[in-house]
Amino acid sequence: MKRKYTLRFDASREKWILKHDVSEKVIKVFDNKEDATRAGVLRKALGREGGTVTLRTRTGVFDEERTFPRSADR
Q: What is the pLDDT of residue 71?
A: 61
pTM: 0.90
Q: What is the pLDDT of residue 41?
A: 95
CA distance 19 to 33: 14
CA distance 36 to 41: 6
Q: Tens digit of pLDDT for each residue in 36-51?
A: 999 999 999 999 999 9
Q: What is the pLDDT of residue 16?
A: 98
Q: What is the pLDDT of residue 69?
A: 85
Please list the ranges in the chain whose pLDDT falls under 50: none
What's the chain's Rg over C-alpha atoms?
12
Q: What domain range includes position 14?
A: 4-73
* Tally of domains within the chain: 1
